[in-house]
Structure 1
Amino acid sequence: MRCLYCHTHIFEEIGWSDLIFKRVEDPFCAGCRSTLIKIEGARCKICSRSMKSEGVCSDCDMWSKHSDYSDVLTANHSIYEYNDSLKELIKRFKYNGDYALAGCFRKELIEHVKLYKKFIIVPMPVSSLRLKERGFNQTEALLECAGVSYENLLKRVDTETSQAKKQKAARHSGENPFQSGKAMNGENILLIDDLYTTGTTIRRAASVLKKTGAGEVRSVTIGR
């Protein structure tokens, strides 16, 4: 087995218990694994930003005063800090088309998604333009590699500029790019995405779902 990040061989002993309980192997070598920093300790109870003490960060406090998005998202849980290692990993996966990297976070997704047993799992959609450029929806790929069932309840319309290329102020402006044609009846939704940056994308998606009748909307992302 080779590390999916640096491609060096990984040598480890596998016991009978590993085979019986179908252990999920770590796709990274010890060195590469150590460069990915989990968000632990005190964090914003809404967006998962690391904080000195538990509470609500200044960004989420501002969102709470927004007339359209104040209460659409109950909470987001992000797994890793968005450092240089995760940035390079996402770049290779999302923009360079290294689909094999979709399996890097299989174990983490399985562990977190299973906590939301009564939620419908919904991947964040990409526009047809981005789908044509990349060849796959990165969020669907993450879920499929983790063996997690999901429903496509959202559609994203084409825009000239992706959110990743916009400055913070520009992300907050503009029309909502998401649409949903399915009426909900109070079902709880768990949105899955690769990154939480300003929270605009997830809140816009949550807003559309709430307007169609969804109950609680939460999200899980790989990075924050």
Structure 2
Amino acid sequence: MKCNYCRQMVTRNLTMKEIFLPKKIMSEQLCSQCVVKFQLLGKKENCRGCQRQTKKAYCEDCLKWQRCYPGYDFHHEAIFSYNQAMQEWFEEYKFKGNYRLRYSFASFLQPYFKQKKNFLVIPMPISAKRMETRGFNQVEGILDAANISYQPYLVRFADGVSQVQKTRKERLTLQQPFKLTKEGSKVVENKDILLVDDIYTTGRTIFHAAQVILEKQPTKLYTFSLAR
């Protein structure tokens, strides 16, 4: 098979699961040369809120969010650091539209979400305008590739410049662009919710989405992103 990212041929022994499951053995995985480019987040010296590397209990951003949302026990998790390799991967997947790359990290996502099997997974939405130009929701793409069930209960009703093109100050002053669907407003109450995004930067976008969910009083609300 070929590496999902660099497309070089990869030779390895198939597992028993791959041999007997009625599923296409596809180029879902990364080769060993590509895997080492992506930096896994460490478990030590991280912010308790967002996993940013720090020797303090909470980073400055999370202390600010605690003041803004004093009743929200914020807990964010991610798998990878948003290093140069990850930036280049997102450029190819998200902005150049290489939809095949949605499979790249499926093997990393599956064990994580298996531990959250009792959570209702809600992906971050994109606007209708963004969907029209891009053709896919990048978060839903990586969830689909890993066979993770989710419900699209959030809607983005406001469009704007991509977060990548905004300054840090502009990201932090972004106005509320999300709302729950009619069905979502009824379902999330008293549920354990896992809100999923692709990248965590300042936290502004994910806190806006969390805010509309918190208004419906879920039992728990955790957040997750592939990278931070």
* Amino acid in the other structure paired with 2:119: F
Question: TM-score, with normalisation over the residues of structure 1?
Answer: 0.90
| 1:171 alignment partner in structure 2 | 171
| Superposition RMSD in Å | 2.2
Q: Give the Cα–Cα distance (whole angstroms) in 2 for the partners of residues 26 and 131 of structure 1.
A: 24
The Cα offsets for residues 21-67 of structure 1, whole Å up to 9 and x where unpaired, read as 899986111111111110013111110112346x211211121112x
| 1:35 alignment partner in structure 2 | 37
Q: 1:162 to 1:73 in 2, by over 3 A?
A: farther
Question: Which SS does the other structure have where 2:225 is aligned?
Answer: strand
Q: Give 1:162 deviation, angstroms.
A: 2.4
Question: Which SS does the other structure have where 2:93 is aligned?
Answer: helix
Q: Give 1:197 deviation, angstroms.
A: 0.6
- 1:86-125 map, 5 Å: 86-125=86-125
* Amino acid in the other structure paired with 2:107: K
Question: TM-score, with normalisation over the residues of structure 2?
Answer: 0.89
* Alignment gaps of 5+ in structure 1: none
Q: Give the Cα–Cα distance (whole angstroms) in 1 for the partners of residues 17 and 138 of structure 2.
A: 33
Sequence identity percentage: 30
Question: Which SS does the other structure have where 2:209 is aligned?
Answer: helix
Question: Which SS does the other structure have where 2:190 is aligned?
Answer: coil
Out of 185, 196, 199, the position equivalent to 1:195 is 199
Please state if 1:19 is matched with 2:23: no
| 2:60 alignment partner in structure 1 | 58
Q: Give the Cα–Cα distance (whole angstroms) in 1 for the partners of residues 7 and 26 of structure 2.
A: 18
Q: Give the Cα–Cα distance (whole angstroms) in 2 for the partners of residues 72 and 134 of structure 1.
A: 33
> What is the count of residue pairs matched by the alignment?
221
- 1:81-160 map, 5 Å: 81-160=81-160
Please state if 1:47 is matched with 2:47: no
* Amino acid in the other structure paired with 1:175: Q
The Cα offsets for residues 143-167 of structure 1, whole Å up to 9 and x where unpaired, read as 1111111111110013232222211
Q: 1:72 to 1:152 in 2, by over 3 A?
A: farther
Question: Which SS does the other structure have where 2:67 is aligned?
Answer: coil
Q: Give the Cα–Cα distance (whole angstroms) in 2 for the partners of residues 78 and 194 of structure 1.
A: 9
* Alignment gaps of 5+ in structure 2: none
Q: Give the Cα–Cα distance (whole angstroms) in 1 for the partners of residues 115 and 132 of structure 2.
A: 33
